[in-house]
Amino acid sequence: MGLLNFCLRPTFQDFFSFSFKTSIQSSNEIYTWNPQIIFLYMLTLDNYYKSLFGTKTYKISLNSTCTCPNRDGTAGTGGCIFCNQTGSGDFMPSQELTLSEQIEAAKIIIQKKIRNPQNLKYIVYFQNFSATYGQPQRLKKLWAEAISAPGVVGLALGTRPDCLSPEILSILAELAEKTYVQIELGLQTSNEKSAEYINRCYKNEIYLHAVENLHKANPKIHVVTHIIFGLPSESQKDMLDSVRFAIGSKTDGIKITNLYVLKNTRLEKEYLAGTFKTLDYEEYFNLIRQALTRLPENIVVHRLTGDPPRSSLLAPQWCTDKKRTMNEVKSILSAFCG
């Protein structure tokens, strides 16, 4: 296995050593787990980065001042119904700061939390809106400046599958020869009806082509797929089908989060009207356990929870208990690691 540090994990048919019953309200199905230990390998993000860079590596969120094609009228208007005016960038630094100032400010925050902050390594992460949606040469210059900062070992971009033009793909392919490049695609769901409901404004086929095109552009590009559990009207099967769909696309990594309702979003109106309920704590983490058993050992697990801003969160409130949710994630990963 070389430098890679893996967690052991069981197959779906032979789940890890515990049993419990739970029901998912949206599907009215009851699942019972019976323990039989047959383990495969699971690669967590922390270990993946350590295998590449030799040490713990931290992501620095930056602001690229981009927008989205389902906001500006190119593909639609209003954006996805769960997305607020920051474009999932609630913890972004101020646009008034220069790029270098953003990076240094983020480094200081991280270093204050670390006992021995010397020689830390960082991945610059353009997270909000669609970070590949813009004038290609402007973005090329922006990304080049970001990866040139001291201690930076890679570039991560959050974007939409329909925001990868041939010129952007060429730039990313070139960058991947110089540094680590991670492209995070917002699939959210493979259910086309749900995708239409959330105003995603692209078909599944576009996502599949995006993953294929990124890998063709440069196999070194690490592709991550974002999935949301708990979208209105989705059953447990729908959610797990989205995981299967992402696996089938040959994504390199996966991020899963629960649906949460933020103020000043179109989803807020739906929630206050009582048209749907968010997943409770037990429902969500039961789904996470099931999802992990379906992942091939080569897929990197990037994240298993969201981190919504407390000040604008309506539901579910269990998201605000970060210590509890992180302990639950650690417990799940510990169980999977034998």
pLDDT in tens, 222-277: 999 999 999 999 999 999 999 999 999 999 999 999 999 999 999 999 999 999 99
pLDDT at 85 (0 to 100) = 67
Q: How far is CA 113 from CA 57, 58, 90, 116, 320, in A?
A: 13, 12, 20, 9, 20
Write down the residue that tokens 């970060």 correspond to.
322
More confident residue, 95 or 128: 128
Contact between residue 142 and residue 64 where contact means Cβ atoms under 8 Å apart: yes
Query: Quick one: average pLDDT of 282-301?
Result: 94
Residues 6+ apart with CB under 8 A from 118: none
pLDDT at 13 (0 to 100) = 34
Structure tokens at 248: 């089938």
Decide if pLDDT at 86 tops 90.
Answer: no
Whole-model pTM: value is 0.86
pLDDT at 94 (0 to 100) = 67
Q: How far is CA 313 from CA 83, 108, 147, 277, 303, in A?
A: 12, 27, 33, 14, 20
Write down the residue that tokens 């981009």 correspond to.
66
Question: Using 50, 70 and 90 to split pLDDT, how confident is the model at 201?
Answer: very high
Q: What are phi and psi of 19, to 5 degrees?
A: -130, 140
DSSP helix, strand, coil percent of the chain (3-state; round to 5): 35, 20, 45
Omega before residue 69 within 30° of 0, cis: no
Question: Using 50, 70 and 90 to split pLDDT, how confident is the model at 119?
Answer: confident
Mean pLDDT is lowest, of 90-94, 147-151, 229-233, for 90-94
pLDDT at 29 (0 to 100) = 37
pLDDT at 14 (0 to 100) = 33
Residues 287, 277: Cα–Cα separation, whole Å:
16
Per residue in 27-76, pLDDT (tens digit) is 333 333 333 333 345 689 999 999 999 999 999 999 888 889 888 899 98
Reduced to 3 states, what is the DSSP secondary structure of residue 144? helix
Residues 229, 290: Cα–Cα separation, whole Å:
12
Torsion of CA 134, 140, 142, 144, to 10 degrees: 160
More confident residue, 92 or 31: 92
